[in-house]
A and B are shown apart, each in its own frame.
Chain A
Amino acid sequence: MTIEPGWAETEVDEILRHHAGRKGALLPILNDVQAAFGFVPDAVVPIVALALNLSRAEVHGVVTFYHDLKRAPATRPIIKLCRAEACQARGVDRVVPIFEGDARIEVETTYCLGLCASGPAAMFGERLFARLDEHSVRRLIDEAVS
């Protein structure tokens, strides 16, 4: 996976146009911005605020509230690892060191992927992985960095 930090105002405009007239559109807009650029650049906040007739503080408040919205681009591929109770019961702590010991990726804790009878579970992009053990974790990391 290659990550190219940066963003384009034309793309922001396109996203805003796409959601024009929609009620309560701020979160869908920010989700789209996050998906397009891999983060929500600070410079996008006033543009979105102006378009929705909101204050910059309101938009900033939303950006900083939700775990999915990032203010800076990721420098490494992010793997989301579930560390909620069901995955704890199924031994996620045994595979954590493998993730944390690999500098090529960033492991992000998530609380539940809905795979609670099949854990330990992880998500990379929209790809799901369950019944993780040492072997499959290494395969998952290889896929993420390739």
Chain B
Amino acid sequence: MRIFVPGDAAAVAVGADEVAAAVGVGVIRNGSRGMFELEPLLEMETPEGRIGFARLAPEDVPDVLRLGRDHPSCVGLVDELPFLKRQTRLTFARCGITDPQSIDEYRDHGGFKGLERALALGPAATVEEVFESGLRGRGGAGFPAGIKWRTAAAAPAEQKYIVCNADEGDSGTFADRMVMEGDPFMLIEGMAIAGFAVGATRGYIYIRSEYPHAIRAMGRAIETARAHGLLGPDFDIEVRAGAGAYVCGEETSLLESLEGRRGEVRAKPPLPAIEGLFGQPTIINNVLTLAAVPFILADGARAYADYGMGRSRGTMPIQLAGNIRNGGLFETGFGITLGELVNDIGGGTLSGRPIRAVQVGGPLGAYFPPSMFHLPFDYEAFAAADGLIGHAGIVVFDDTVDMAKMARFAMEFCAAESCGKCTPCRIGSTRGLEVIDRIIAGENVAANRLLVEDLCETMKFGSLCALGGFTPYPVLSALRHFPEDFAEARDVETV
């Protein structure tokens, strides 16, 4: 009887290592199923399927092993849990099911079929397959992956690079981490396909230093793949750790960091696909983008593009976070509404209080009130509502949130993390913080609100990258949708 206890960092953070130790020899450290309220979730194989035992402490383990289903912590068949059943897991098909460090299990569960088909199709047809799938950059910008790949493929050069952006710094996101810890060979396969498609022989995975577990998991998996000759004779991958700079998630800043410099943003053009790492043509894609590629190649562009809506094709691993009852990883086709996500699937707030705001897309994403929960999860729909889906993290806040404080935090975060290269971001964020403080203090509120709005215009259109350029989203959305939290409204009430 096989027993699984996740080795995922979010499970380890609530005691999974201790639970696994209590199970003892032979326990399989799977990835997380992405239902973090249930962690540590022990799974036991039975003839009917895998049954789960939720929120275990090490001292529960002997009773769980003895009583099985009769143990009060039993949640029944894991695959039948509504949170999992409602998902369409393409990228996360294996995560939580297999032993992430077993290359044989990876292969047994459909792994390396994408690479095999790419090798059969040839480089040019592989690029077209990715283009046809409609896959867009999952890091946040949503730029069509196929166009990047075409550009890099067409650029003549002795040396080209595949860079995987695993600097997942957005609050409310953890899907990259889960892939690296829970299904690392999928990312390796995606990068190997990319390398083959555009003629790159070297790959880098830039992982943030806050993810030591993911750094280790990727390193181990790469060694295994290399030892099995699965990277091929012409491709190799190296893991690089960041050093605690949020801005290095911006692609050009990440390239600077990889080259050994301050993580300062580069002006574009030149595009990295033409002149990227060490001045050579470089594909830089997010973990989830590259991780989607093996499925697209194995099952075909059509199979992927059949999911989704409008110009947002395929599935998105959405991350439900913050004050939410059923937080975790929910992969589904684009088009699901915000309300379905946070209410039906997420189950509302963990605190039991009403939802007041959700922030979608990380610290640079807009805050939305429940009156906008009809919005479908789609790049264009969110852009039209003055927001973004970003890396698809959704952070839920209950009615105790102070939105003036959150607007202030957005500016404070930008000031702390700005690389300093361009003026609107470097200076604008600090000035913005000061002006919001004045609004909160009730000084010349109307005039200062106009000043913040004007400053946000400047930051939005004058910044080199999304850090300064998108910080206005949380600030302006807080002002627009939650005006009552800013002093003007408070003044009016006291009149």
Residues of A within 8 A of B (CB): 23-28, 30-31, 34, 52, 58, 61-62, 65-69, 80, 82, 84-91, 110-119, 121, 123, 126, 128-131
In the complex, A119→B173 CA distance in Å? Answer: 12
The answer on a CB contact under 8 Å between A115 and B174 is yes
The answer on a CB contact under 8 Å between A90 and B322 is yes
Enumerate chain B residues within 8 angstroms of A28, measured Cβ to Cβ: 240-241
Enumerate chain A residues within 8 angstroms of B251, measured Cβ to Cβ: none
Q: Could you tell me the distance in whole angstroms from the C-beta of B10 to the nearest C-beta in chain A?
A: 5
The answer on a CB contact under 8 Å between A86 and B322 is yes
Verify if B393 is at the interface (C-beta below 8 Å from A). Answer: yes
Q: Could you tell me the distance in whole angstroms from the C-beta of A102 to the nearest C-beta in chain B?
A: 21
Q: Considering residues B10, B13, B397, B419, which has the most beta carbons from chain A within 10 angstroms of its beta carbon?
A: B13
Closest 8 CB pairs of A and B: A117-B327, A26-B260, A84-B171, A89-B322, A116-B321, A67-B244, A66-B243, A130-B13
Q: Could you tell me the distance in whole angstroms from the C-beta of B405 to the nearest C-beta in chain A?
A: 9
Verify if B259 is at the interface (C-beta below 8 Å from A). Answer: yes
In the complex, A111→B416 CA distance in Å? Answer: 10
Q: Could you tell me the distance in whole angstroms from the C-beta of B442 to the nearest C-beta in chain A?
A: 23
Enumerate chain A residues within 8 angstroms of B322, measured Cβ to Cβ: 85-86, 89-90, 116-117, 119
Q: Could you tell me the distance in whole angstroms from the C-beta of B225 to the nearest C-beta in chain A?
A: 20
27 contacts between A and B (CB under 8 A): A26-B261, A27-B243, A28-B240, A28-B241, A34-B243, A65-B245, A65-B263, A68-B243, A82-B171, A84-B171, A84-B413, A86-B393, A89-B323, A89-B397, A89-B401, A90-B350, A111-B171, A112-B171, A113-B210, A114-B9, A114-B10, A114-B173, A114-B177, A115-B10, A116-B172, A118-B10, A131-B13
Verify if B155 is at the interface (C-beta below 8 Å from A). Answer: no
Q: For B406, give the chain A residue with the smallest CB separation.
A: A85
B10, B211, B320, B363: the one within 8 Å of A85 (CB)? B363
Q: For B263, give the chain A residue with the smallest CB separation.
A: A65
Q: Could you tell me the distance in whole angstroms from the C-beta of A107 to the nearest C-beta in chain B?
A: 15
In the complex, A109→B318 CA distance in Å? Answer: 26
Q: Considering residues B261, B393, B406, which has the most beta carbons from chain A within 10 angstroms of its beta carbon?
A: B261
Enumerate chain A residues within 8 angstroms of B396, measured Cβ to Cβ: 89
The answer on a CB contact under 8 Å between B328 and A25 is no
In the complex, A23→B243 CA distance in Å? Answer: 17
User: Contacts A85-B359, A86-B171 known; A118 to B13 CB distance under 8 Å?
Assistant: yes
Q: Considering residues B243, B259, B401, which has the most beta carbons from chain A within 10 angstroms of its beta carbon?
A: B243
The answer on a CB contact under 8 Å between A116 and B319 is yes
Verify if B168 is at the interface (C-beta below 8 Å from A). Answer: yes
Verify if B12 is at the interface (C-beta below 8 Å from A). Answer: yes
Verify if B324 is at the interface (C-beta below 8 Å from A). Answer: yes
Enumerate chain B residues within 8 angstroms of A52, measured Cβ to Cβ: 260
Verify if B39 is at the interface (C-beta below 8 Å from A). Answer: yes
Verify if B395 is at the interface (C-beta below 8 Å from A). Answer: yes
Give the total of B residues in contact with A, Cβ under 8 Å: 60
In the complex, A82→B209 CA distance in Å? Answer: 14
Residues of chain B from 383 to 417 with CB closer than 8 A to chain A in the complex:
393, 395-398, 401, 406, 409, 413, 416-417
Q: For A131, give the chain B residue with the smallest CB separation.
A: B14
B239-261 vs A, CB cutoff 8 Å, 1 = contact: the mask equals 01111111000000000011111
User: Contacts A85-B359, A128-B9 known; A62 to B174 CB distance under 8 Å?
Assistant: no
The answer on a CB contact under 8 Å between A117 and B260 is no
Q: For A129, give the chain B residue with the smallest CB separation.
A: B13
B14, B169, B212, B261: the one within 8 Å of A112 (CB)? B169
Verify if B262 is at the interface (C-beta below 8 Å from A). Answer: yes
Enumerate chain B residues within 8 angstroms of A112, measured Cβ to Cβ: 169-171, 173, 210
Enumerate chain A residues within 8 angstroms of B235, measured Cβ to Cβ: none
The answer on a CB contact under 8 Å between B413 and A111 is yes
Enumerate chain A residues within 8 angstroms of B260, measured Cβ to Cβ: 24-27, 52, 62
Q: For A126, give the chain B residue with the smallest CB separation.
A: B212
Verify if B37 is at the interface (C-beta below 8 Å from A). Answer: yes
The answer on a CB contact under 8 Å between B327 and A66 is no
Enumerate chain A residues within 8 angstroms of B417, measured Cβ to Cβ: 111
Enumerate chain A residues within 8 angstroms of B172, measured Cβ to Cβ: 84-86, 116
The answer on a CB contact under 8 Å between B363 and A111 is yes
Q: Could you tell me the distance in whole angstroms from the C-beta of A121 to the nearest C-beta in chain B?
A: 6
Verify if B143 is at the interface (C-beta below 8 Å from A). Answer: no
User: Contacts A68-B209, A85-B406 known; A62 to B173 CB distance under 8 Å?
Assistant: no
Q: A23-B259, A27-B260, A113-B9 are in contact. List 15 more A-B contacts (CB 8 A).
A: A24-B259, A27-B258, A31-B209, A31-B241, A65-B262, A68-B244, A85-B395, A91-B323, A111-B169, A114-B10, A114-B174, A114-B211, A117-B10, A128-B12, A128-B213
Enumerate chain A residues within 8 angstroms of B409, measured Cβ to Cβ: 85, 88
In the complex, A91→B397 CA distance in Å? Answer: 10
Verify if B53 is at the interface (C-beta below 8 Å from A). Answer: no
Verify if B149 is at the interface (C-beta below 8 Å from A). Answer: no
The answer on a CB contact under 8 Å between A30 and B212 is no
In the complex, A58→B256 CA distance in Å? Answer: 13
Q: For B174, give the chain A residue with the smallest CB separation.
A: A114
Verify if B334 is at the interface (C-beta below 8 Å from A). Answer: no
The answer on a CB contact under 8 Å between B401 and A118 is no
Enumerate chain A residues within 8 angstroms of B243, measured Cβ to Cβ: 27, 30-31, 34, 66-69
